[in-house]
Chains A and B, each alone.
Chain A
């Protein structure tokens, strides 16, 4: 399926990546090219085949519901672009 400028704009929005209006036609063309390549998958008979979830059959391991690495607030915040009073700080979210 071909991707037009409108779909490209929507995908960029969903991906939370700013794309300038002038760059949308080129992006749409590139994404279309890649999707055309993927269309080959339509040739495969997949009836009765389950989608693979795990490459090795394994049961998700469980562990006791205990804190294993708590009490490291300073380490968690150390790389934050903006941290104040023990919190991550971001621009205003609610008007």
Chain B
């Protein structure tokens, strides 16, 4: 059996049958990671930790005490604090930072026997849609056409690139406005953002606390179900973590959605949407109908205001969260000139440590929270957010089980092609995903096809709050019907 190209599901079953060892599996992936520097996906490699963890996993497997992720090699987004391992959120301001504690998500994963191959590239502080704001340089999409390089999307670009290129069996991502789902769609993989509060945020570097949620990025829906179960659950260290039990998501994958109502929101048919995206959406609708679901036209009238509301709320929260990077307690401190006081230290440290996009968002956030503008921008955006959530509430109250939309307005674009664009143009990448964060709902991106250039395209399913099990089952049906099996041609 080839150890390359495995899914979490296949590897789990084979490890339990002792067809190969966790150490053999881990060595295969350490090697794959080492040969893939051209992708820029792994930014801190941890082979020693991986080998220790895989040896421990082999003991558990031999003893017959093996949770689903025991011995499974994973990549961890740089946003997660991992004890004594660099955790920089792809920012210069956290250079040299070695967390003295472990995030709840990685604690759970390691407790289940998972193996960490290293830390993954991302946009700085998860602010970006192309992985180009990273202090490490950008990650590259394995789906790049000859003679050019495409973005893997962002912010979880390294996670998406690593999973799509088969450098690991799965990766953690985080999603504040689409940062799991957009890169998953750009790289032909599955990514789920759970309901807000399903996964603990403890030890995840904060961007916008009311929107941030971590989730898995995997090759299949079944893998996502297995991985999410291992990450999720109540955590007293995150006051927004929900005190709910975690269902067996994998057991929910029955493939039966007969009689379920799938909502198709008319406001997601945007002006200027490409024919390809429209055709992809129509084919997804047909797949759900063929599976016995009832297709229902619905209206989510405040959709168009989601992006502007998001770009008030997220920077406002970010400006507050990122105030902690002051050169005092951890990370970078600027070299000071004679006579410089503490204010100069703050200002120089933050100017040197934060990249352009992060600075821009901190300043926008500072502005909308400042005296005189708080009501006009911040409170207004929070009111609009309430209306966006109400749109979804009404749809679900009317009996809708899941909502089907495109995941992204296009396939992966070329790295550098947005360099001279207005910041707002880059923000438009989140147009289909951002509503889900504002409403706190679960959303999943499933690869459905290739565009005319041969690049992957995905569709998004949105579920009811806490109904990830049902959502994953809908995604499973879409995945089976779409039969997406294409792989990128290896060039790295």
Chain A residues in the interface with B (C-beta under 8 A) = 3, 7-8, 11-12, 14-19, 27, 30-31, 33-35, 37-44, 46, 49-56, 58, 60-61, 63, 72, 75-76, 78-82, 88, 90-93
Question: Which residue from B347, B350, B368, B382 sits with its C-beta under 8 Å from A51?
Answer: B382
**Would you call B302 an interface residue if the criterion is a C-beta within 8 Å of the partner chain's C-beta atoms?**
yes
Query: 20 A-B pairs, CB-CB below 8 angstroms?
Result: A3-B367, A11-B370, A18-B344, A18-B348, A18-B350, A35-B367, A39-B308, A40-B304, A41-B309, A42-B380, A43-B305, A46-B380, A46-B384, A46-B387, A55-B210, A61-B239, A79-B96, A79-B98, A81-B331, A90-B345
The interface on chain B, measured as residues whose beta carbon lies within 8 A of the other chain's beta carbons, has a size of: 73
Contacts of A81 in B (CB 8 A): 327-328, 330-333
Contacts of A91 in B (CB 8 A): 336, 340-342, 344-345
Q: Is the Cβ of B331 less than 8 Å from the Cβ of A79?
A: yes
Question: Which residue from B100, B195, B380, B384 sits with its C-beta under 8 Å from A78?
Answer: B100
**Would you call B381 an interface residue if the criterion is a C-beta within 8 Å of the partner chain's C-beta atoms?**
yes
Chain A residue nearest to B101 (CB atoms) is: A75
Chain A residue nearest to B385 (CB atoms) is: A52
Question: CA separation between A33 and B415, bound complex, in Å?
Answer: 23
Evaluate whether A52 and B386 lie within 8 angstroms (CB atoms) in the complex, with A34-B311, A75-B100, A90-B345 already known. yes
What's the minimum C-beta distance from A92 to chain B, rounded to whole angstroms?
Answer: 6
Chain B residue nearest to A50 (CB atoms) is: B386
Question: CA separation between A12 and B29, bound complex, in Å?
Answer: 45
Question: CA separation between A3 and B423, bound complex, in Å?
Answer: 16
- Chain B 372-386 near chain A by CB (<8 Å), digits 1 or 0: 000001011111111
Chain A residue nearest to B382 (CB atoms) is: A51
Closest 7 CB pairs of A and B: A55-B440, A51-B382, A79-B330, A81-B333, A18-B347, A18-B351, A46-B383
Q: Is the Cβ of B387 less than 8 Å from the Cβ of A44?
A: yes
Q: Is the Cβ of B210 less than 8 Å from the Cβ of A17?
A: no
Count A-B pairs with CB separation below 8 Å: 167
Q: Is the Cβ of B330 less than 8 Å from the Cβ of A49?
A: no
Evaluate whether A63 and B364 lie within 8 angstroms (CB atoms) in the complex, with A55-B210, A75-B100, A90-B342 already known. no
Question: CA separation between A23 and B440, bound complex, in Å?
Answer: 38
Question: Which residue from B347, B367, B385, B423 sits with its C-beta under 8 Å from A16?
Answer: B347
Question: CA separation between A44 and B423, bound complex, in Å?
Answer: 23
Evaluate whether A55 and B328 lie within 8 angstroms (CB atoms) in the complex, with A33-B422, A40-B308 already known. no
Within 8 A of A (CB), among B185-235: 195-197, 210
Chain A residue nearest to B439 (CB atoms) is: A55
**Would you call B354 an interface residue if the criterion is a C-beta within 8 Å of the partner chain's C-beta atoms?**
yes
- Chain B 321-358 near chain A by CB (<8 Å), digits 1 or 0: 00100111111110010001111111110110010000
Question: Which residue from B97, B326, B389 sits with its C-beta under 8 Å from A79?
Answer: B97
What's the minimum C-beta distance from A79 to chain B, rounded to whole angstroms?
Answer: 4
Chain B residues in the interface with A (C-beta under 8 A) = 96-98, 100-101, 195-197, 210, 236, 239-240, 242-243, 302, 304-305, 307-309, 311-312, 319, 323, 326-333, 336, 340-348, 350-351, 354, 359-360, 362-364, 366-368, 370, 377, 379-387, 389, 422-424, 427, 438-440, 465
Q: Is the Cβ of B210 less than 8 Å from the Cβ of A54?
A: yes
Contacts of B340 in A (CB 8 A): 91
Chain B residue nearest to A47 (CB atoms) is: B383
Interface SS of chain B:
helix
Evaluate whether A34 and B424 lie within 8 angstroms (CB atoms) in the complex, with A11-B366, A54-B210 already known. yes
Contacts of A46 in B (CB 8 A): 380, 383-384, 387
Contacts of B331 in A (CB 8 A): 79, 81
Question: CA separation between A18 and B359, bound complex, in Å?
Answer: 10
What's the minimum C-beta distance from A40 to chain B, rounded to whole angstroms?
Answer: 5
Q: Which of A38, A75, A80 has the most CB of B within 10 A?
A: A38
Question: Which residue from B197, B236, B341, B381 sits with its C-beta under 8 Å from A56?
Answer: B197
Contacts of B240 in A (CB 8 A): 54, 56, 58
Contacts of B367 in A (CB 8 A): 3, 7, 11, 31, 35
Question: CA separation between A12 and B109, bound complex, in Å?
Answer: 40
Question: CA separation between A53 and B210, bound complex, in Å?
Answer: 9
Chain A residue nearest to B352 (CB atoms) is: A18
Question: CA separation between A83 and B385, bound complex, in Å?
Answer: 43
Q: Is the Cβ of B341 less than 8 Å from the Cβ of A44?
A: no
Question: CA separation between A40 and B424, bound complex, in Å?
Answer: 13
Contacts of B319 in A (CB 8 A): 15
What's the minimum C-beta distance from A70 to chain B, rounded to whole angstroms?
Answer: 14
Q: Which of A37, A39, A93 has the most CB of B within 10 A?
A: A37
Contacts of A31 in B (CB 8 A): 360, 363-364, 367
Question: CA separation between A51 and B313, bound complex, in Å?
Answer: 11
Question: CA separation between A5 and B202, bound complex, in Å?
Answer: 39
Chain B residue nearest to A77 (CB atoms) is: B329
What's the minimum C-beta distance from B234 to chain A, rounded to whole angstroms?
Answer: 10
Q: Is the Cβ of A56 less than 8 Å from the Cβ of B196?
A: yes
Q: Is the Cβ of A44 less than 8 Å from the Cβ of B384?
A: yes
Contacts of A44 in B (CB 8 A): 302, 305, 380, 383-384, 387
Q: Is the Cβ of A15 less than 8 Å from the Cβ of B366?
A: yes
Q: Is the Cβ of B341 less than 8 Å from the Cβ of A92?
A: yes
What's the minimum C-beta distance from B102 to chain A, rounded to whole angstroms?
Answer: 12
Evaluate whether A11 and B363 lie within 8 angstroms (CB atoms) in the complex, with A16-B346, A40-B308, A91-B342 already known. yes
